[in-house]
A and B are shown apart, each in its own frame.
Chain A
Amino acid sequence: MEQSTKASLQSFRSNLSAAKLALPSVLIANNEGDLSLMDFPTSRHEAWKYTRLSRLAKIQLESTIAAPIDWEDFNMVKDAYTFVFQNTTCIYISNDLPDGLSIKIGDEIATTDWLSSINESHVAKLNVAHAQNGCLINIAKGIQVDKPIQIIYITDGPKQPNFWRNQLNIEVGAKANIHIGYFSKDAIDSYSNVHWSVFLKENSHLIMTKIQNDGEANFHFSTENISQLKDSNFTLNTVTLNGAFVRNDVLVHVEGENCETHLNGAYIMKENQHVDNHTTVDHIFPNCNSYELYKGVMDDKSTAVFNGKVFVRPNAQKINAFQSNANVLLSDDATINSKPELEIYADDVKCSHGSTTGQLDLEAVFYLRSRGISETEARSMVVAAFMTDVLSKVASNDLKSYIYQQLAARFNLHLQGED
């Protein structure tokens, strides 16, 4: 058993190209050595207990050249500074970037540009080993970017491996809103592995919204490694709409006082889909607030995992940390494994966490039907209502209407925008 999985990580990597990005030596130094000792984690690994990789391990990835596409088919919002990757090629770059916003792509990024954010998981190490392309975004000191930045990643073709590595630097007092979309086209048994290192300097402000809308047979791994300095405000919205298998690892290091951290997640799943959200908020400094709200609706045989950790270090007094995960199971065959964890080593803190899982509120459905609304519509109204608060956290109205359109098309869910 053990042996075969170990062999499978090596065989999984056999066709993958080495990294094309010029990464700093601290990142690559031990990476190969570490990887050679690793295998795909099994359910005995706490962080992978409910997320099996055995099906992935059997896939032989093979990078192929994709035919040109019209990226507009994947456009989420009209008015944005947009960058588009089709597999590992950057196929579109907005040419009207404002002063203070700079974006470097692929080999424009120098070794010294990269932060050395090291993650220990096999996912992050594979990313270091095989990163093919990505972007480095810099928002200069005091700049408020007037429009959202939109980065679109399209996995095109079967068994396609895509390793993207990105970095986002928000300088002192800067402010930005970034939309990231993950999509696929004809992606049967394809694999995408994306890594973001995000650095918020003092008094900066960032809203990062990820839309995961991959095809129904794509494996997607997304890792965000965030550092927040004093007085910064960070929001991450993770909206998972599609994908056979989605794993999110979010790690926020709060490394200064008076920071605010918001993690919001919405996952709407059906058929045999699997989504796993692992988040960690590490409070190292005092006087900070973190808020986490993840909500999911699961139909058919879909499965979801939520594991949210909050650490409050010994000197991090006066921390308010709230965490909540709520789920609605629409079918008897859907499952959720939810585990909120608090580890508190300071005494003057306010923390709460909770997890709920329930069925659809049938009383509410009956009430709506008794007014003449069809059962399908009534159910969809109640599901939509459940998701409303978390989706309303998506700050951009354009992106919100995009999400609502997707929900209507895929799940027959009709959410109302605020008037």
Chain B
Amino acid sequence: MITIKNLHASIEGKPILKGLNLTVNAGEVHAIMGPNGAGKSTLASILAGREEYEITAGEIDFDGEDLLDLSVEERAREGLFLAFQYPVEIPGVSNVNFLRTAINEIREHKGEKAMSAKEFMALVRDKSALVELDSKLASRSVNEGFSGGEKKRNEIFQMAMLNPKLAILDETDSGLDIDALRIVANGVNQLKTDQNATIIITHYQRLLDYIIPDFVHVLYDGRIVKTAGKELALELEEKGYDWIKENKVN
């Protein structure tokens, strides 16, 4: 689904990603862990198309397309979704209205006809139930006055509405209480098919008790330095990152 080769990226002249390689296939769940400042959100931002970063080397293939050639909205229309670590508040823009615009722009891009109001409302009901998002929140201004946990739940609600091929969840678990964590994880699991894939960026193996990853990667200093199965998350939880830093082969 996505193949990242030798990705180098910098911001304001400062290199952040330093030769990152990652391949994710349809049907897989990948977890990316790593210390603060390692470059995890940078990777997520670059995949989503944030323009502040300079890509100095490398390539990204997304289902046969050169991802770096696509605009932010084209990536979304091709099925890429980022659940933001810090979702922004947009007072005055209603959550459901903007999602309706988004869905219809995506449909238009695919040459499909617009979704009817009725169909759309049914989808809203269905998907807000999936993540147990209060329907009042669904129709309020985007994230305005939402609690930290509600914002994260709203991200998963949007993901459910847009049904992406590749979802990247950047610390969606942080700020969630135990119940919300279970609900969000349950939502992600229910959306999982053998046609789509998920990249989960997290600091805690707790989330991975609910969403079982096929691979766990450690991103350190701009590179994936270790990849293993789900047991790696447990090991990291126990030992921290120092042993990986020490063992890191250049």
Where the two chains meet, the residues of A that have a C-beta atom closer than 8 Å to any C-beta of B are 361, 363-364, 366-375, 377-378, 381-382, 384-386, 388-389, 416
* Chain B interface size range: 20 to 34
Find out whether the CB atom of A367 lies under 8 angstroms from the CB atom of B73. Answer: no
Find out whether the CB atom of A372 lies under 8 angstroms from the CB atom of B76. Answer: yes
Q: A-facing mask of B36-78, CB < 8 A → 1, else 0?
A: 0000000000001110000000000000000000011101110
CB within 8 Å for A374 and B92 given contacts A366-B50, A367-B84, A381-B98: no
CB within 8 Å for A369 and B76 given contacts A385-B92, A385-B93: yes
Find out whether the CB atom of A363 lies under 8 angstroms from the CB atom of B88. Answer: yes
Complex: chain B residue closest to A367, CB-CB = B88
CB within 8 Å for A367 and B92 given contacts A372-B73, A374-B105, A375-B73: no
Which among B92, B94, B99, B141 has the highest number of chain A CB atoms within 10 Å? B92
12 contacts between A and B (CB under 8 A): A366-B50, A368-B90, A370-B75, A371-B76, A372-B109, A373-B73, A375-B72, A378-B73, A382-B90, A385-B90, A385-B92, A416-B94
Which single member of B88, B102, B106 contacts A364 (CB below 8 Å)?
B88
Complex: chain B residue closest to A416, CB-CB = B97
In the docked arrangement, what's the CA distance between A412 and B45, Å? 29
In the docked arrangement, what's the CA distance between A377 and B158, Å? 18
Known: A361-B90, A364-B88, A371-B98. 8 other contacts (CB 8 A): A367-B88, A369-B49, A369-B72, A370-B81, A375-B71, A378-B73, A382-B90, A384-B92
Point out the residues of chain B lying under 8 angstroms from A366, CB to CB: 50, 72
Find out whether the CB atom of B93 lies under 8 angstroms from the CB atom of A368. Answer: yes
CB distance from A382 to the nearest CB of B (A): 7
Where the two chains meet, the residues of B that have a C-beta atom closer than 8 Å to any C-beta of A are 48-50, 71-73, 75-77, 81-82, 84, 87-88, 90-94, 97-99, 101-103, 105-106, 109, 141-142, 158, 162
Point out the residues of chain A lying under 8 angstroms from B93, CB to CB: 364, 368, 381-382, 384-385
CB distance from B121 to the nearest CB of A (A): 12
Which among A361, A369, A372, A382 has the highest number of chain B CB atoms within 10 Å? A372
CB distance from A179 to the nearest CB of B (A): 24
Complex: chain B residue closest to A378, CB-CB = B73
In the docked arrangement, what's the CA distance between A364 and B103, Å? 18
Point out the residues of chain B lying under 8 angstroms from A381, CB to CB: 93, 98, 101
In the docked arrangement, what's the CA distance between A385 and B101, Å? 15
In the docked arrangement, what's the CA distance between A385 and B142, Å? 11
Find out whether the CB atom of B92 lies under 8 angstroms from the CB atom of A373. Answer: no
CB distance from B51 to the nearest CB of A (A): 8
CB distance from B112 to the nearest CB of A (A): 13
In the docked arrangement, what's the CA distance between A369 and B82, Å? 11
Complex: chain B residue closest to A419, CB-CB = B139
Point out the residues of chain B lying under 8 angstroms from A373, CB to CB: 73, 98, 101-102, 105
CB distance from B104 to the nearest CB of A (A): 9
Complex: chain B residue closest to A369, CB-CB = B72
Which among B73, B75, B105, B158 has the highest number of chain A CB atoms within 10 Å? B73
Point out the residues of chain B lying under 8 angstroms from A371, CB to CB: 76, 81, 98-99, 102, 158, 162
Point out the residues of chain A lying under 8 angstroms from B77, CB to CB: 372
Point out the residues of chain B lying under 8 angstroms from A363, CB to CB: 88
In the docked arrangement, what's the CA distance between A377 and B73, Å? 11
